[in-house]
């Protein structure tokens, strides 16, 4: 099992949260997330606490299912949790058999320490399960950049309407002069045990909602939420060579966490405008270049536009229509150097000819020794 196994994975059916089937494709999961996130976004329903809670739950679900490695670990954890970790050869105990559970697959018991500790209410693999720190929800926004800016890199100003920490209580939610206290129900762990003895499980504490602390005297300015809505301004650096649809992560620029805890992240989706001449193909750029009949037949040296200015391309005599030439290092920027520029030539046949041109072509036709269709004669 790859990745970190979290206890809430056993408690939350993320497929149900997003309203998708367990065998849904990554594209379907992304589509469902965007639809739900847009409908429940705080900007769409300002002041609606239920929608805000729903948005956080949707973001948490997509954080797992939107990542193929996390999704794989999540599915495995839920399957084993549903089975009660049964199927081990001859009963036994977790970790006693190197072949894994029931010999079906190998599982590193070290990777399951937190998971088993939560399921059996004790220690697993020598580690005690601990509640991960609460954090704010992730946010997503979009920007559009020109093709030229995408190739050269640019800084784009952002304006995001969202929550920030209340200046009166600095995000704690507690009245000035007071502080949140340890939750008496969970003792600050953020989780409480459910069940009995060996098969007890832990779930999020209903009183503090997993934070581990409660506010006895709420801040009058924010009502104890610790947050207020405000227009925030950022600047996102778009790297040179960015591709259309790329996601740029701004750590800590998402929704603030409960009671002053860590904020979520802001993800910026980049949309790159098309270019009238260039088309992108991976790290290469594709350019279609027109040629006259005489240039293709006799050969020529033609100017070709690039991102850095025009260069000269040598066209050999007898060049066929549709042939592609490669100009190295004149494509899109990448981590190491640049891609290439692929120049596809299109031989243009004139629709109208002058009298002189017609005469010259007639002479050429008379001089041609053999028709290209000679081999097709019956």
CA–CA dist 269, 156 (Å, integer): 12
Between residues 202 and 237, which one has the greater pLDDT?
237
* Residue 367 pLDDT: 77
* Residue 121 pLDDT: 42
pLDDT band for position 219 (cuts 50, 70, 90): very high
User: 266-319: per-residue pLDDT in tens?
Assistant: 999 999 999 999 999 999 999 999 999 889 989 999 999 999 999 999 999 999
Between residues 96 and 43, which one has the greater pLDDT?
43
Q: Which CATH superfamily is domain 278-371 in?
A: Urease metallochaperone UreE, N-terminal domain (2.60.260.20)
Average pLDDT over residues 117-129: 41
323 pLDDT more than 80: yes
User: 144-201: per-residue pLDDT in tens?
Assistant: 999 999 999 999 999 988 888 999 998 888 998 888 899 888 888 888 887 654 556 7
**Domain ranges in the chain with CATH number 2.60.260.20:** 132-180+215-273, 278-371
pLDDT band for position 362 (cuts 50, 70, 90): confident
Q: Please list the residues that pair with 278 across neighbouring strands.
A: 287
Where residue 191 falls (left for φ over 0; alpha for ψ -120 to 50; beta otherwise) is beta
Q: How many residues does the chain have?
A: 378
Percentage of the chain beyond pLDDT 70 is 79
Q: DSSP letter string over 278-325?
A: EEEETTEEEEEEEEEHHHHHH-EEEEE--TTS-EEEEEPTTPPTT-EE
* Low-confidence winner among 111-125, 164-178, 225-239, 300-314 (lowest mean pLDDT): 111-125
pLDDT band for position 82 (cuts 50, 70, 90): low
Q: Whole-prediction pTM value? A: 0.56
* Residue 237 pLDDT: 95
* Residue 133 pLDDT: 56
Between residues 174 and 378, which one has the greater pLDDT?
174
Distance linking the first and last C-alpha atoms of the chain: 68
92 pLDDT more than 70: no
Q: Are the C-beta atoms of residues 76 and 1 closer than 8 Å to each other?
A: yes
* Low-confidence winner among 78-92, 174-188, 204-218, 265-279 (lowest mean pLDDT): 78-92
Highest average pLDDT, of 42-51, 82-91, 113-122, 247-256, comes from 247-256
pLDDT band for position 69 (cuts 50, 70, 90): confident
* Low-confidence winner among 38-42, 59-63, 323-327, 332-336 (lowest mean pLDDT): 38-42
Question: Tell me: domain 132-180+215-273, CATH 3.40.50.970, correct?
Answer: no
pLDDT band for position 96 (cuts 50, 70, 90): very low
* Residue 207 pLDDT: 84
* Residue 137 pLDDT: 87
* Low-confidence winner among 80-94, 96-110, 232-246, 317-331 (lowest mean pLDDT): 96-110
Number of other CB atoms surrounding residue 291 within 10 Å: 18
203 pLDDT more than 90: no
Between residues 133 and 230, which one has the greater pLDDT?
230
């Amino acid at each position: 099992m790859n990745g970190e196994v979290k206890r809430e994975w056993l408690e939350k059916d993320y497929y149900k949260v997003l309203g998708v089937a367990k065998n849904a494709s990554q594209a379907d999961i992304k589509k469902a997330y965007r639809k739900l996130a847009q409908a429940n976004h705080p900007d769409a329903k300002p002041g609606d606490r239920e929608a805000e809670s729903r948005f956080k739950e949707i973001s948490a679900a997509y954080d797992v299912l939107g990542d193929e490695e996390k999704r794989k670990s999540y599915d495995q954890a839920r399957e084993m949790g549903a089975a009660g970790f049964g199927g081990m050869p001859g009963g036994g105990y977790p970790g006693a058999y190197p072949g894994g559970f029931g010999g079906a697959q190998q599982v590193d018991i070290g990777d399951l320490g937190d998971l088993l500790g939560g399921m059996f209410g004790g220690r697993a693999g020598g580690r005690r399960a601990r509640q991960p720190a609460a954090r704010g929800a992730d946010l997503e926004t979009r920007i559009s950049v020109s093709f030229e800016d995408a190739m050269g890199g640019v800084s784009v100003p952002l304006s995001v309407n969202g929550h920030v920490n209340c200046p009166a209580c600095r995000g704690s939610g507690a009245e000035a002069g007071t502080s949140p206290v340890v939750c008496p129900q969970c003792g600050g762990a953020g989780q409480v045990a459910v069940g009995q003895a060996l098969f007890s499980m832990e779930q999020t504490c209903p009183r503090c909602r997993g934070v581990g602390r409660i506010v006895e005297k709420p801040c009058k300015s924010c009502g104890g939420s610790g947050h207020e809505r405000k227009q925030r301004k950022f600047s996102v650096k778009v790297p040179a060579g960015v591709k259309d649809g790329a996601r740029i992560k701004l750590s800590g620029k998402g929704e603030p966490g409960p009671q002053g805890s860590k904020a979520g992240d802001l993800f910026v989706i980049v949309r790159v405008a098309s270019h009238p001449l260039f088309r992108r193909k991976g790290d290469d750029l594709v350019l279609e270049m027109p040629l006259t009949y005489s240039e293709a037949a006799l050969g020529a040296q033609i100017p070709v536009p690039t991102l850095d200015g025009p260069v000269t391309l040598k066209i050999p005599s007898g060049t066929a229509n549709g042939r592609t030439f490669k100009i190295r290092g004149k494509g899109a920027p990448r981590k190491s150097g640049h891609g290439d520029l692929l120049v596809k030539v299109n031989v243009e046949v004139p629709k109208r000819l002058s009298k002189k041109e017609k005469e010259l072509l007639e002479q050429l036709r008379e001089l041609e020794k053999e028709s290209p269709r000679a081999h097709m004669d019956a």
